[in-house]
Structure 1
């Protein structure tokens, strides 16, 4: 596998991807909001490698914001139907919906900034909560660039990274660190959710 990852082979793949056109790059990040099995990290890296840091970042940002917001609108409109009932009835989702209703867009902003957050879950929670549409669009608009830029930066330097074993190791370490920080923040948020909901329940009982 590593023998195949030469500069020449990487450039051939990047050029073939570039021939598909920029709208394909937007489409892939757009559709990933509906199909989480697609690797967003790989798609964003491919866009940055093919079109450069600025344009690759812009394509990925536009696609993922548009896809996430459309998914949010679909959940908001059709969330009461049976097809989405399984999502809504999950214990963790119920807790997050209630917490978002209490705390507003701040927890959503934090979650959307993290590169490995399951965006389908976040969009579903937002759609099933009472957050206003314009506020969620603003949350997506200002949170997504942080995550997308971090990944795009690695992708824009992909040729140099492949050429240097040291840079490959550094890049892997960076990705693992980002993943670890994301998981730590998720754990802290989960504890915060549990604590806030316990306090609310306690206040209700004391009334």
Structure 2
């Protein structure tokens, strides 16, 4: 019993490490500038397809997905970057002004940044599950984030904890951070994805 539990634990750790190394490899293949977005999307797709079946997660499949994801992955990633830059700049200006009104504005801007990050995670997951146009993908991701505040909170808290642990243990940046974020988002949104599937079946 203990041996089986340890084996399962080691398999999960290996999948996390393997996917994170794939993330860095594919990011470097795109010279970081054009690689990070598609690498995020590729890691997400590999885990959605195979979960913890580590033997089925191969470099060949990853490279094929990475090439297919170049355009869409960069559009999603840099779309997020533009939104975060605009919100971040406004937050920078707002925190320099005192007053209750600007404190409320600060809170709204911070929430907006968190919401944008969570929506990005939803776009990656939903795009891995369904064949859908980019416009409809973004609409579905926005609806998904608004559908359950608890899911939004779970993803946001989970990502924050992963980044906090990474800050303390810098080695995770290379061996675990990005894959753990994708795996956590996958786990936290499971109930919502099942709801979407049930609604699609009802309309079929």
Q: Is TM-score (shorter-chain normalized) higher than 0.5?
A: no
TM-score, normalization: structure 2?
A: 0.30
Is the radius of gyration larger for structure 1 or structure 2?
A: 1
TM-score, normalization: structure 1?
A: 0.30
